[in-house]
Amino acid sequence: MDLTRLFYPQSVAVLSAAVQGKIGEKIPGVNTSTANPVDLGAGGFESKVMIHTMQAMAPEPNLDVLVPYFALDFVSMFPDEAIEKGFREIAAAARDLSLPVVPIIFKSYENKPRLEAVRMTALTIFREAGLPVFFTPQDAVLAMARMLEWKGEV
């Protein structure tokens, strides 16, 4: 089976103007993008912005899955209590969405104990919530492709 289109898509799903407008309500119009792939900029590291965006995107009929990528360099600037609370809020919100959520958390923060601690917090919380966590977008895509292949949908 040729999975080329899954790894090298010609295009990504286009988000409707309504969904893009809803996402844009919570982020500045500079260094961000409401088009797919969505880039929330620095504001996206605040859990309420991430949750708002996930909720705005979930009803989009062109989407099959939400794949948030967490850059822990910025998340780690928050106090520990806020980090844990934020990841718990995101995990809880993910359970209520109509689309599956597959978080990406970069795997290795060698010689950066603070980032590794934040990564382990996120990993633990998301896995406890039943979310499939991947370390790279490529790993997530491969796993989803294999699952679809197994189900006979590819």
pTM: 0.86
- Per-residue pLDDT tens for 58-77? 999 989 899 999 888 888 88
The mean predicted confidence, pLDDT, of the chain is 88
The model's confidence at residue 5, banded by pLDDT at 50, 70 and 90, is low
- Give all domains of the chain, ordered by start, each with its CATH number: 4-151 (3.40.50.261)
- Per-residue pLDDT tens for 89-104? 999 999 999 999 999 9
Amino acid at 47: S
pLDDT score, position 1: 47
* 140/127 Cα distance (integer angstroms): 15
